[in-house]
Structure 1
């Protein structure tokens, strides 16, 4: 699989966090770069939560300097989700078992196999951190109550993939989706994401820092917001944790 032109590639034996490494190396970069760590000592997920990352699982960050407005830059969580879906489908052939969970998780047989974390960096940088349970998943006790059960790619598909294999497939898939996003905007990305969305048309719960909303998952709007049809009417949600 050809590495995409214009993207750097570095694989580290160990690092504290690939997103932290992205912030450190940003000043020296001439273009976007993928950082993959075979071991992380201080991995983290959304909202500062710990991310369990045993050796053999995938931990990587794409660091780049996007030029769009912040609300457009944030839509790259959907680009990353689609690129992961593409890479998993190519490597496992398990398209029918894959789904995308708003705002930034990938599901396999209904369980969470991957998570994405976007962080803005000083100097106009963006770090897109991606964690994948390739070989092992956290136990139910290690995740938030009510959260989607964690699963691993190996356990669910029987396919053993190395971090470097996934890095190469993901980088190639990302380059295609990113080109489409930059060229045609969010609409085709949105349509492709919705075609793979988990629980679309079903009742779900979205929990923000202040409120909890339960309603039918109607769509994702043109700005990436979750749209729920609730008993109180349609609600647009910019950021939340979603529970099924």
Structure 2
């Protein structure tokens, strides 16, 4: 790890909490008072959650943080920050895990290490009247321990931890600067040049690109070859009935 580990992006606030209900709830409470972007890191969470309201386990020593920003444009552009966050996570983990860690990104919002899930991303918009005032980007990383697989839903990807897979043991407060710096880099790229370079970089790290996957939405199950993601971030599958763009789903390999 470089001596730059403690470098911090200019103009970004940092709040480190010993304990809170969840960093996403804390983000909603803090957002109206924030003058600019802010990271909120909690060493312990009592009511953490993941996508679709699912419980998110937070063993001691793991990373749970939320970044609050004012999104660059409207609702559609705001959703693309999940790809910015995934690239930042991939880069930060690569920096601390070393050259032998096999990292990839699973659509729509997970990061994999050696084929197991090490991190997840959750986006929530904050505002009223259909207007987004802030975007909360929640990030959880299994730095020290993998959650109990028995507590996960059937078919869910097996969890892994950074320490378990690589032997690297880094505290959440030390990991945060790596992630904040990487996010600031990709955010600047996104806001200067749009989604195209983010999409290209994401596809270069995509798990199972070109392979057959199963997408389960609330209404149906679709199987097809993972061809690409389109300009709106939807997964494009080549199916027996032709190409299908999937905007939201759980993906199974």
Above 0.5 in TM-score? Answer: yes
Structure 1: gaps of 5 or more residues: none
Aligned to 1:203, which of 191, 207, 212?
212
How many Å apart are 1:144 and its aligned residue?
1.3
Runs of 4+, deviation exceeding 3 Å: none
Maintained 8 Å contact 2:101/2:166: no
* 1:35-80 Cα shifts (integer Å, max 9, x gaps): 0000000000000000000110000000111140211110000000
* TM-score normalised by structure 2 residue count: 0.95
Helix, strand or coil at the partner of 2:182: helix
Determine the C-alpha separation between the residues in 2 that align with 1:182 and 1:95: 32
Please say which of residues 118-127 and 201-210 is displaced more in the overlay. Answer: 118-127
> Superposition pairs for residues 139-150 of structure 1, below 5 Å?
139-150=148-159
Asked whether 1:217 is paired with 2:222, we answer: no
Helix, strand or coil at the partner of 1:55: coil
* 1:157-206 Cα shifts (integer Å, max 9, x gaps): 11001101111100000000000000000000000000000000000001
How many Å apart are 1:96 and its aligned residue?
5.2
Determine the C-alpha separation between the residues in 2 that align with 1:184 and 1:122: 26
Aligned length: 244
* TM-score normalised by structure 1 residue count: 0.98
Determine the C-alpha separation between the residues in 2 that align with 1:28 and 1:138: 34
Aligned to 1:47, which of 49, 52, 58?
52
How many Å apart are 1:94 and its aligned residue?
3.8
Maintained 8 Å contact 1:229/1:235: yes
How many Å apart are 1:243 and its aligned residue?
0.5
Residue 13 of structure 2: aligned partner: 8
Alignment RMSD: 0.9
Structure 2: gaps of 5 or more residues: none
Aligned to 1:23, which of 21, 25, 28?
28
* 1:106-146 Cα shifts (integer Å, max 9, x gaps): 00000000000000112511100000001111122111111
Structure 1 residues 119, 16: closer, same or farther in 2, change over 3 A?
same
Structure 1 residues 20, 238: closer, same or farther in 2, change over 3 A?
same
Maintained 8 Å contact 2:105/2:112: yes
Maintained 8 Å contact 1:225/1:237: yes
Maintained 8 Å contact 1:227/1:234: yes
